[in-house]
Amino acid sequence: MEYRPTIGLEVHAELKTRTKMFCDSANDPDEARPNINICPVCLAHPGTLPVINRAAVLHILRMGTAIGGKIADFTEFDRKSYFYPDIPKGYQISQYEYPLITGGELAGVAITRIHLEEDTARSIHLPAQAGADGKSLVDFNRAGIPLMELVTEPVIHDAATAGRFARELQLLLRTLGAGEANLEKGEMRIEANISVSKEEGVFGTKVEVKNINSFRSVERAIAFEINRQIELIESGGNVVQATRGWDETKQSTFHQRFKEGSADYRYFPEPDLPKLYLSDIPEFAHDALRASLPELPWERRARYAERYALKENDVAYIGATAERAEFFDAVTEALDNSKELVALAANYIVSDLGGIYAKKDSEDYASLDPKMFAKLIRLVSAGDVSSRGAKDTLMHLVEKGGDPRVIAQEQGLMQVHDTTVLTEAIRVVLAEENKAVEEYRAGKEAALQYLVGKSMKATRGAGNPTVLKELIVKELSLK
Ligand code: ADP
Ligand code: MG
């Protein structure tokens, strides 16, 4: 029997709020100067008291509602004790027994719980050669920023599913306005618990992998760790429960430390904060929360599939980021929701625009006017611009903006429908291409294609090839 991998994810995400989790220092992830957004509370001065940030609680409750989790009637915060220079209280305020949310499901993965805690400060370890003697510095701007922790059940069995889940979670956080969740910026941090087992229904010993900084690394780290564990067991070794780090350069995991049990953290209820009886708070009632949600990523995808009959791949591509989806929605509106035009627009967004952005390695929907994009789609649909001409017009639109009709006219990309104009151009071509004309008359099909190509060139792409072909045949049959 083959080894069956099992994966459970633990995800931390910084929440977007005006102030920090337990004080009124600003929550500003863009603050580059160290130790600006600080106060006695998040610096853990003795005698200071925390106050719960209502907006952070609301983010978690909306998240929980979105994934169909159960909202706690009763919840409290706990102290999780550990010493670290970036955690000056000597404990982190987190949640243990009574998380805000239990259960739910996202991207087919069962959720165990979602709770709220505070972020730590940021340690910066200077290398010795920086003239700083290898000192460590601490920046407290991040200390006390509200942090969501989401834990999944061990129900994932391959790296791709874990990657899909993580992407969907980022999209959901962004859709809800709960966080930016950039992995590269550490706004979302994914820890993967991985085990392998040959025995049906029995889990192997799990290893936790940290320091994963991109979605691609989520998949690679998991794949690497699955292989490492299988090879270890096959060579007669045992997997030891431990925390390992992901080394991006070496593309491998390495041992960091053996795991502490939860008993070591000495969890106990935070005495400085009130207990929360959530069902007593009208704003947190289920109906109110549900009503506050925007269209969720999967609802949006279902709408695209049902309303516009888009292909599954197109739905997945357009629905993958809020920027794409919002752009697409604006385009559909500008196209009056015409199913035919929207299908054409989806095609151009996925293939042509997607291609342009892929080449640039960045997407910039914000500076592309959806009305102008829609106008281009109408020009294509009416046959006023060829698909070739549309590509050039679109490139121009992305680079410089403007009106697609004006662009196409200026660049000579408009299709000419006037057959007398086209016929005139064809006559010039035929007069010059005696050899091809003779070959055509002798029954050589390729000669006709050649003449169409020459005529397209002569009309600078303005002639529709099908129309040109018809006109050439007609013209030659007259002689
Ligand atoms: P711990 O007490 O070590 O923190 P938990 O039971 O809280 O372990 O689980 C932490 C994470 O590890 C969860 O995401 C869970 O789904 C996952 N997990 C638990 N057991 C396994 C296993 N055997 N293999 C893979 N993942 C696991
Ligand atoms: Mg745990």
Q: Give pLDDT tens digits for 220-254.
A: 999 999 999 999 999 999 999 999 999 999 999 99
Residue 132, pLDDT > 70, answer: no
Give the confidence band of 130 by pLDDT, cuts at 50, 70, 90.
Answer: low
Tell me which of 152, 169, 190, 206 to substitute to probe ligand 1's pocket, judged by most ligand atoms within 8 Å of the beta carbon: 206
What is the rounded distance in angstroms from the CA atom of residue 477 to the CA atom of residue 479? Answer: 6
In three-state secondary structure terms, 335 is coil
Look at residue 460 and tell me whether its pLDDT is greater than 90.
no
pLDDT of residue 410: 86
Give the position, in ligand 1's atom list, of the atom nearest the Cα of 151.
14
Specify whether the backbone of 253 is left (phi greater than 0), alpha (psi in -120 to 50) or beta.
beta
Q: What percent of the chain has pLDDT over 70?
A: 99
pLDDT over threshold 80, residue 263: no
SS3 222: helix
Counting atoms of ligand 1 from 1, which one is nearest the CA of 259? 3
Q: What is the mean pLDDT of residues 382-405?
A: 90
Residues near ligand 1 with C-beta < 6 Å? 6-10, 151-154, 193-195, 203, 206, 262
Q: How many CB atoms lie within 10 A of CB 192?
A: 29
Q: What is the residue with the minimal CA distance to atom 13 of ligand 1?
A: 8
Q: How deeply is 299 buried, as exposed, middle or buried, from its count of CB atoms within 10 A (0-12, 13-18, 19+)?
A: middle
- The residue-averaged pLDDT of 29-40 equals 96
Residue 273 has pLDDT above 70, yes or no: yes
Mean pLDDT of all residues in 366-388: 92
Phi, then psi, of 135 in degrees rounded to 5: -70, 155
Average pLDDT on 163-183 reads: 97
128-132, 205-209, 373-377: segment of lowest average pLDDT: 128-132
**Confidence band for 456, pLDDT divided at 50, 70 and 90:** confident
Q: Which residues pair with 13 in a beta bridge?
A: 148, 188
Convert the pLDDT of each residue in 36-76 to its tens digit: 999 999 999 999 999 999 999 999 999 999 999 999 999 99
Beta bridge partners, 152, equal 111
Mean pLDDT over residues 21-41, rounded?
97
- pTM, 2 dp: 0.86
For ligand 1, atom 17: residue with the closest CA: 8
Q: What is the mean pLDDT of residues 261-275?
A: 91
* Ligand 1 atom nearest 155 alpha carbon: 16
**Which atom of ligand 1 is nearest the CA belonging to 153?**
16
Residue tagged 């993580």 (tokens) = 166
Task: State the pLDDT confidence band at 478, using cuts at 50, 70 and 90.
Answer: confident
| pLDDT of 102 strictly over 90 | yes
Residue with tokens 């994963």: 212
Cα–ligand 2 centroid distance for 186 (angstroms): 21
Distance 193 CA to ligand 1 centre (A): 6
Average pLDDT of the chain? 93
Whether the per-residue pLDDT at 394 is higher than 90: the answer is yes
Q: How confident is the model at residue 127 (pLDDT cuts 50, 70, 90)?
A: confident
Residue pointed to by tokens 């629905």? 319
Q: How far is the CA of 204 from the centre of ligand 1 (A)?
A: 11
Ligand 1 centroid to residue 126 C-alpha, Å: 34
Q: Residue 85 — pLDDT band, cuts 50, 70, 90?
A: confident
Q: From the CA of 151, which ligand is nearest? A: 1
Query: How confident is the model at residue 261, as a pLDDT?
Result: 74
Q: What pLDDT sits at residue 479? A: 60
Nearest CA to ligand 1 atom 14: 8
pLDDT band at 126 (very low <50, low <70, confident <90, very high): confident
Q: What is the mean pLDDT of residues 108-137?
A: 88
